[in-house]
Amino acid sequence: MTVGSAVLLIFDTPRPHQGMHEYSLTSYTQLASVRNALSRNPSVTKTDWEYVEIFYSRTSAGDMGTVAMFNNSSTEKDANLHFVICNGEKNGAIQTSDRWRNQYRCLQGDNWYGSRKTIRICVIGHPIRALPSDTQIKRAEDLVETLCKEYGIPKVNVSYPQGWN
Give dist(CA 22, CA 14) in Å, integer. 7
Spatial distance between the Cα atoms of 29 and 34, rounded to a whole number of angstroms? 11
Tell me 46's DSSP state.
P
CATH number given to 3-159: 3.40.80
What is the domain partition of the chain in residue ranges? 3-159
State residue 48's pLDDT score: 93
Alpha-carbon gap, residue 139 to 54, rounded angstroms: 12
pLDDT in tens, the chain (165 residues): 554 444 444 444 443 333 444 545 555 555 777 877 777 777 888 889 999 999 999 888 888 888 877 766 666 677 889 999 999 888 999 999 999 999 999 988 767 778 899 999 999 999 888 899 999 999 999 999 999 999 999 999 999 998 787
What 3-state DSSP class applies to 62? coil
* Contact assessment for residue 43 and residue 154, using Cβ atoms and an 8 Å cutoff: no
pTM score, whole prediction? 0.79
Containing 158, the helix (H) or strand (E) segment is strand 158-159
Q: Which helix (H) or strand (E) holds 6?
A: helix 3-12
